[in-house]
């Protein structure tokens, strides 16, 4: 096997749904050996809104590539004992169970540390391990609400809107992965593991940092502004001519300085705006944004979003067509860069999904198919603990491991 950035790192993955599974999948892309420890019947997101009865749901598949599955009953005393034996041979344990469950199982950090002082335990919670909210359960949209993102998303005359991408879940997972790698590097110096704690609310609040500019400038809470960038024209989503598979035709255009403004008006054939008193500087353009946005929209409506992106992009104007999920999978740029990976799943067939979002020149990041429930149980127990076929069969007979 090709040596990769995290080759040699062994992770016991107790995660479910999205925040935790994103973390471990990210580390798996970078070469870690991720052993997904699942309860009998499999991790519950395998059954989360399944598209095909009896098969793993797509929700599970998109977050669990690059892993091996071990089905182990942690509620069974022998199952817990077996897990602790695996901890002795692991570098990292990651969990995002409901608050208090690991303590109830007797598998909190102090217990794992007693077995392996080098273990790094990452605990992902909605509100952390302390504080007034620490017992509350959370999902992505709860984190978006309590982290402040919903308060600034949407239009001023409508209710708050959650971001369509799961920034509370996936954002937390990526933060957790970064923290685990930092702890792993520190362990190389100290020889000691540590507890890694990541709270979803805090990650989302961290994403909100830019909006505190509004808070301190205006002396009041930042508000919902739709697609507008405060003080910037152009700085909005502009309608384009219908084209492609649907009529969802918008492009986002933003200029940040005088040079970009000059390049923009030149590209749209409106150099006259350079001498227009409404366009003297960013402040005056913002004051007359309604009239200027009408001029911009009149131009964008005569072209498809892809044509606008090509024309403005080549002119040095920051812009981006609003792409939907189908367009993302077929996007010529992403495909040319090898970012859209094709995998062959045992039961769901051929799937196309985005691959690793980071690239290391000396560490390839392939995408391997998500495992079937318990697919690697015997393989891993033999490899990690040296158990024989007969010993594994006895554990199965007693309901400690499955299938």
The answer to whether 387 and 72 have CB atoms below 8 angstroms apart is no
The answer to whether 316 and 309 have CB atoms below 8 angstroms apart is no
What is the CB neighbour count within 10 angstroms for residue 65? 24
Q: Which two tokens stand for residue 213?
A: 């500019």
Task: List, as one string, the DSSP characters of 94-160.
Answer: EE-PSTTHHHHHT-SHHHHHHH-TT-EEEEEESS-SSSTTTT----HHHHHHHTTTGGGSS-TTS--
- Separate counts of helices (H) and strands (E) for the chain: 17, 12
Question: Which residues partner with 68 through β-bridges?
Answer: 35
At residue 354, φ and ψ (nearest 5 deg) are -60, 140
91 is an active site residue: no
Q: Which two tokens stand for residue 184?
A: 């792993």
Please pick, among 169, 281, 290, 324, the residue that the annotation labels catalytic.
169
The answer to whether 37 and 373 have CB atoms below 8 angstroms apart is no
**Looking at the annotation, which residues are catalytic?**
169
């Amino acid at each position: 096997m090709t040596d990769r950035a995290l080759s040699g790192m062994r992770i016991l993955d107790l995660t479910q749904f999205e925040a935790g599974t994103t973390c471990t999948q990210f580390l798996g892309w970078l070469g870690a050996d991720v052993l997904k420890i699942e309860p009998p019947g499999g991790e519950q997101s395998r059954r989360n809104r399944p598209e095909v009865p009896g098969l793993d749901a797509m929700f599970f598949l998109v977050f669990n590539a690059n892993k091996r599955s071990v089905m182990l009953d942690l509620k069974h005393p022998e199952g817990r004992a077996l897990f602790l034996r695996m901890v002795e041979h692991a570098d990292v344990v990651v969990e995002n169970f409901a608050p208090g469950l690991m303590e109830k199982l007797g598998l909190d950090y102090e217990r794992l540390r007693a077995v392996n002082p080098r273990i790094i335990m990452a605990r992902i919670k909605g509100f952390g391990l302390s504080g007034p909210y620490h017992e509350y359960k959370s999902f992505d949209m709860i984190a978006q609400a309590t982290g402040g993102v919903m308060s600034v998303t949407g239009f001023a005359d409508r209710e708050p809107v959650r971001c369509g991408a799961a920034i509370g879940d996936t954002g937390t997972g990526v933060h957790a992965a970064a923290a685990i790698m930092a702890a792993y590097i520190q362990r190389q110096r100290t020889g000691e593991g540590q507890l890694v704690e990541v709270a979803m609310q805090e990650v989302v609040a961290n994403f909100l940092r830019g909006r505190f500019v509004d808070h301190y400038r205006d002396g009041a809470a930042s508000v919902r502004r739709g697609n507008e960038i405060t003080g910037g024209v152009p700085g909005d989503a502009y309608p384009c001519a219908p084209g492609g598979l649907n009529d969802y035709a918008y492009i986002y255009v933003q200029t940040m300085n005088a040079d970009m403004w000059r390049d923009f008006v030149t590209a749209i054939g409106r150099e006259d705006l350079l001498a227009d008193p409404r366009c003297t500087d960013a402040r005056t353009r913002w004051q007359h944004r309604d009239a200027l946005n009408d001029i911009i929209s009149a131009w964008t409506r005569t072209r498809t979003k892809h044509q606008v992106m090509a024309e403005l992009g080549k002119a040095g104007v920051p812009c981006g067509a609003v792409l939907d999920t189908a367009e993302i999978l077929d996007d010529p740029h992403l495909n040319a860069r090898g970012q859209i990976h094709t995998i062959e799943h045992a039961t769901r067939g051929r799937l196309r999904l985005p691959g690793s979002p980071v690239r290391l020149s000396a560490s390839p990041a392939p995408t391997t198919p998500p495992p079937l429930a318990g697919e690697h149980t015997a393989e891993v127990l033999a490899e990690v603990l040296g158990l024989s076929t007969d010993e594994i069969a006895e554990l199965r007979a007693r309901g400690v491991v499955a299938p």
